[in-house]
């Protein structure tokens, strides 16, 4: 058995040993389907060795792969806008803002 993992950010499909736990974007394949697996045009396919490799190396590879998948699926949060108001008060985690002072509408 094999596990196929897609890393969308890198346009990479990774085919390796059967994963020990379920991850998003991972699919278990039998040997027949793993041998015939193709990736979309423009994608890279990485085939990790399957057999009796060193257990520590497999654990490291799987952990790195799982971390890459987790990182790829974490939503990006935009930075807090700056320069768009002046804080005039605070209550707990809430802030009271007023518009930043303008140039008074004067053109030079």
| pLDDT tens, residue by residue, 89-101 | 888 777 777 776 6
Query: Are 29 and 1 within 8 A, CB to CB?
Result: yes
| pLDDT tens, residue by residue, 20-32 | 878 777 899 998 9
Q: Is 37 exposed, middle or buried (0-12, 13-18, 19+ CB in 10 A)?
A: middle
Q: State the Cα–Cα distance between residues 39 and 107, nearest whole angstrom.
A: 59
Residue 108 has pLDDT above 50, yes or no: no
Between the alpha carbon of residue 60 and those of residues 33, 56, 66, 97, the distances in Å are: 25, 6, 10, 48
| pLDDT tens, residue by residue, 49-99 | 876 555 666 677 778 888 887 777 777 666 655 556 677 788 877 777 777
Query: Are 72 and 46 within 8 A, CB to CB?
Result: no
């Amino acid at each position: 058995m094999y596990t196929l993992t897609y890393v969308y950010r890198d346009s990479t499909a990774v085919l390796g040993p059967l994963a020990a736990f379920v991850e998003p974007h991972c699919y278990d394949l039998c040997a027949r389907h793993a041998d015939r697996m193709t990736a979309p045009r423009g994608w890279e396919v990485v085939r990790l060795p399957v057999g009796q490799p060193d257990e520590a190396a497999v654990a490291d590879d799987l952990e790195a792969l799982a971390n890459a998948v987790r990182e790829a699926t974490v939503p990006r949060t935009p930075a807090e806008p700056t320069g768009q108001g002046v804080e005039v008060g605070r209550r707990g985690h809430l802030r009271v803002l007023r518009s930043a002072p303008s140039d008074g509408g004067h053109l030079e």
